[in-house]
Amino acid sequence: MQRSLAFGAYLLFSSLLLALLLYSGRQQADTVAEHYFPANRQLVKQLGLTDLSIWSEARYTRHPSQADLFTAFQDYPGAFDHFPAGSIIGPGCLQGSPSLSFQKRGQP
């Protein structure tokens, strides 16, 4: 009897924990929907943004919805590079000095 009680208690505890997490997630989503989504939507509208700033390594990954028709993602978004050459040609060695830097306030 002890084992089944312990098992029942474990199931009850984990079910309640999961329910609590889902409920708190719901509350959090409601807060975000009320405050941050409208603010972000307004930002997108004002600046005329079209894409999420997730992958900044290439043009067609930074703006997948605006990419040229012949880029990999334009066959269907999320597609792997469909040209066999993509798996053979490695990234090139870039020459030159860094083109972006910052100057701290008050420093020459």
Site for other proteins (CB under 8 A): how many residues? 67
Give the C-alpha separation, 8 to 93, whole Å.
60
103 binds other proteins (CB under 8 A): yes
Write the single-letter amino acid at 76. Y
Residue 15 in tokens: 């079910």
Cβ atoms of residues 72 and 61 within 8 Å: no
- Least distance from other proteins to the Cβ atom of residue 84, Å: 17
Distance of closest approach, residue 81 Cβ to other proteins, in angstroms:
10
d(CA 74, CA 53): 18
Site for other proteins in 79-98 (CB under 8 A): 79-80, 94-98
Identify whether the C-beta of residue 87 lies closer than 8 Å to the C-beta of residue 81.
yes
| Cα–Cα distance measured from residue 9 to residue 86, given in angstroms and rounded to the nearest whole number | 54
Task: Pick out residues in 5-64 that bind other proteins (CB under 8 A).
Answer: 7, 10-11, 14-15, 17-18, 21-22, 25-26, 28-29, 32-33, 36-37, 39-59, 61-64
Q: List residues near other proteins by CB under 8 A.
A: 1, 3-4, 7, 10-11, 14-15, 17-18, 21-22, 25-26, 28-29, 32-33, 36-37, 39-59, 61-66, 68-70, 76-80, 94-105
